[in-house]
Homo-oligomer: A and B are copies of this chain.
Amino acid sequence: MNRTERIQAVLQTLVTSSPDVEGAALVTMDGLPLASALPGGTDEDRVSAMGAAALSMGARTVAELKRGSLEQVYVKGSGGYVILMQAGTETVLETISNSDARLGLLLYEMKLAAKELAGLI
């Protein structure tokens, strides 16, 4: 497998780790998609752009409120979660799940995937 295929495989593994995980994407800090495993009909560009916007807000929040360097942002809606986690220095792993997802397990699976992705990029 080449690098792109290996990144894709890590994202696919994350999505299939639980039926509650609906999609995952690896995006650059400025909101460009690098790879994704998203359900049909989901706009990859929109997912990436929202991820970057959330990340930028998160970075400002931790800076202003003196919480060190940004590690994670999560947004919970009545219909599910959007979670962002640093994966390497320049890229971010973004996961979308439904509201049945177990947060602890999901964060754990994301950490494993983020570590693997950081080694690939």
Contact = CB atoms under 8 A, between A and B. Distances in A.
Contact of A71 (B46, B54, B76): B76
Interface residues of A, number: 32
A64 interface: yes
Contacts of A78: 67-69, 71
How often does this chain occur in the complex, in copies? 2
A53 to B, nearest CB: 6
A79 B68 contact: yes
Contact of A64 (B46, B66, B70, B104): B46
A64 B45 CA distance: 11
A63 to B, nearest CB: 8
Going nearest first, the 10 A-B pairs with the smallest beta carbon separation are A68-B79, A67-B77, A68-B78, A62-B77, A72-B76, A57-B57, A68-B77, A58-B75, A67-B79, A67-B80
